[in-house]
């Protein structure tokens, strides 16, 4: 995608010119969906991954490993490097350190740059990066591991006397660790360790959050383990030498793999944000399976269905055009977007093309879109329903926004049986997926949806969007349109001779 088609640093972690897919669950609700960020601009082969971070550029520093001088994204130089190579991966380039025993390899950055900007903060913050084992798998993934205690990040030295701070794996590659040690060696101040499944030549999203109250390790969007906060750190003799990416500070114990899009922060990233970041960028950029929570439990009976059977209030192709079956497609497993492209037509405007792979034959999946992602969760944005799509079919949507557009594919689960899928309620109406009368007062969620009234539901009961003196509850009871003023107000006599609204 052409990055010039975007304004820089939108609210969610979306880098200009990106094409993304997502399949997370919105806890605690059991939903399954896919997010595709499609930049509707002239296409380029490989999309650019972002640095996690919402509400603008909230990183301390970013490291994309895209140039031969290993500059940070702000243009700052490293202190030194040797036997570090660039390889294809992620956004096109990644750092590889995979040297044989006795051959040092390292990439070394200062903690603080000459202009006093900070690259990494040890006491409170987060580090996030993508890591790909090179031709080895951990013992939990059927392999034998890297063969040594491989460092992913390191400050100081475990064998030195000035302290140590490191994220690393064991020789078998079956566990991830974080350790912090004060000067003088001895007992580690903080050690996190947890089993981790590291597959060969597969990208994994690793996040460490840390502070004085707690520490936590995440892998591929999921919490691996957490523990107590940091109470002691390496001393200046160790920190003067900066931090090392992908090796120990002496160039040994390399990560035997690739590392891409390292980002550092001076605050602790939230679990929701970490999960969403992996979900958004894992599949299209790093080729990994996104997070999915499969729907569970039976849907209820729609209270307004004449025959008591489940139904869908919004169904059919909508504005989505089916352009044929997808050859070689397997309709099993998780549904996903594939064969993504965008093109400009003189008659149809920007046209988004995609194929639905996976999923279940005959099951309709709703397609939603938004032209602007807002905040740090998907439900903060305003979404519209475009139509329904099916597994192993090719589709296109014409006349799309010129700058950018996000798409969500939602499953058919309808927990409260009100004819609106859970994803529809979460994204479009902002109603409660487990309550068919979210606004109260007997107003069904279907009526809110049909009249394009959206939450928060607490504000809908007594609202009067058309300013005619009738609340939404009154408009529902009278059968009038809540978005069109009738020019007068209905009044009725009550048993106590009061005049009021029904």
- Identify the domain boundary among 394, 429, 464: 429
Report the pLDDT value the prediction gives residue 185, as an integer from 0 to 100.
Answer: 56
* pLDDT tens-digit readout, 165-202: 999 999 999 999 999 988 765 555 678 999 999 999 88
Task: Give the residue, 180 or 33, on which the prediction is more confident.
Answer: 180
- Quick check: is 273 in a domain? no
Report the pLDDT value the prediction gives residue 428, as an integer from 0 to 100.
Answer: 86
Nearest Cα neighbor of 62 from 128, 158, 131 is 128
pLDDT category at 35 given cuts 50, 70, 90 is very low
Angular region, 220: left φ>0, alpha ψ -120 to 50, beta rest: left
Residues 424 and 454 in one domain: no
- Quick check: is 274 in a domain? no
> Three-state SS across 43-88?
CCCCCCCCCCCCCCCCCCEEECCCCCCCCCCCCCCCCEEECCEEEC
Looking at the 3D structure of the chain, how many domains does it have? 3
245 and 153 Cβ atoms separated by less than 8 Å = yes
Report the pLDDT value the prediction gives residue 416, as an integer from 0 to 100.
Answer: 80
219 and 282 Cβ atoms separated by less than 8 Å = no
Residue 317, domain extent:
1-57+311-429
Report the pLDDT value the prediction gives residue 22, as an integer from 0 to 100.
Answer: 29
Residues 326 and 441 in one domain: no
- Under DSSP, the state recorded for 118 is B
- Quick check: is 287 in a domain? no
- Quick check: is 283 in a domain? no
Please tell me the pTM assigned to this model: 0.54
Residues 423 and 443 in one domain: no
Residues 35 and 134 in one domain: no
Residues 156 and 232 in one domain: yes
Give the domain CATH number at 198. 2.60.120.200
Residues 104 and 241 in one domain: yes
């Amino acid at each position: 995608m052409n990055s010039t088609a975007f304004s820089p640093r939108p609210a969610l972690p979306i880098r200009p010119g990106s094409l993304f897919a997502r399949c997370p669950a919105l806890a605690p609700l059991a939903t399954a969906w896919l997010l595709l960020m499609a930049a509707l601009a002239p296409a380029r082969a490989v999309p650019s991954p972002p640095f996690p971070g919402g509400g603008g550029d909230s990183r301390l520093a970013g490291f994309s490993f895209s140039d031969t001088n290993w500059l940070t994204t702000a243009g700052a130089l490293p202190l030194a490097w040797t036997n570090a190579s660039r390889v294809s991966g992620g956004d096109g380039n990644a750092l590889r350190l995979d040297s044989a025993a006795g051959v040092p390899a390292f990439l070394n950055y200062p903690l603080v740059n000459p202009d006093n900007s900070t690259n990494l903060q040890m006491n409170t913050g987060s580090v996030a990066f993508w890591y790909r084992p090179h031709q080895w798998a951990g013992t939990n993934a059927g392999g034998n591991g890297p063969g040594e205690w491989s460092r992913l990040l390191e400050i100081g030295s475990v064998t030195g006397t000035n302290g140590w701070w490191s994220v690393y794996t064991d020789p078998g590659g079956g566990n991830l660790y974080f350790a912090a040690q004060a000067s003088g060696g001895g007992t580690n101040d903080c050690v996190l360790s947890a089993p981790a499944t590291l597959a060969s030549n597969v990208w994994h999203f690793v996040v460490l959050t840390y502070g004085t109250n707690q520490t936590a390790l995440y892998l591929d969007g999921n919490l691996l383990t957490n523990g107590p906060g940091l109470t002691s750190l390496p001393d200046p003799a160790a920190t003067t030498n900066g931090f090392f990416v992908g090796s120990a500070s002496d160039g040994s114990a390399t990560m035997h793999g690739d590392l891409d899009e390292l980002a550092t922060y001076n605050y602790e990233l939230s679990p929701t944000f970490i999960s969403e970041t992996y979900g958004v960028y894992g599949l299209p950029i790093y080729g990994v399976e996104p997070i999915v929570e499969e729907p569970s439990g039976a849907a209820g009976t729609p209270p307004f269905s004449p025959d008591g059977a489940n139904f869908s209030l919004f169904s059919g192709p909508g504005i989505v055009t089916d352009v044929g079956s997808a050859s070689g497609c397997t309709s099993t497993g998780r549904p996903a977007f594939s064969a993504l492209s965008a093109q400009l037509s003189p008659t149809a405007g920007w046209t988004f093309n995609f194929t639905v792979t996976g999923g279940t034959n005959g099951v309709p999946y709703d397609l939603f879109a938004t032209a602007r992602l807002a905040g740090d969760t998907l439900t903060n944005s305003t979404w519209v329903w475009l139509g329904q799509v099916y597994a192993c079919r090719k589709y296109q949507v014409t006349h799309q926004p010129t700058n950018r557009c996000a798409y969500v594919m939602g499953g058919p689960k309808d927990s409260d049986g009100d004819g609106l899928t859970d994803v529809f309620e979460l994204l479009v109406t902002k109603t409660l997926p487990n309550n068919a009368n979210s606004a109260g007062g007997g107003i069904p969620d279907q009526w809110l949806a049909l009249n394009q009234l959206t939450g928060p539901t607490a504000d809908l009961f007594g609202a009067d969007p058309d300013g005619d003196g009738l609340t939404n509850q009154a408009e529902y009871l009278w059968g009038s349109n809540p978005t069109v003023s009738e020019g007068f107000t209905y009044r009725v006599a009550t048993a106590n001779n009061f005049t009021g609204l029904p």
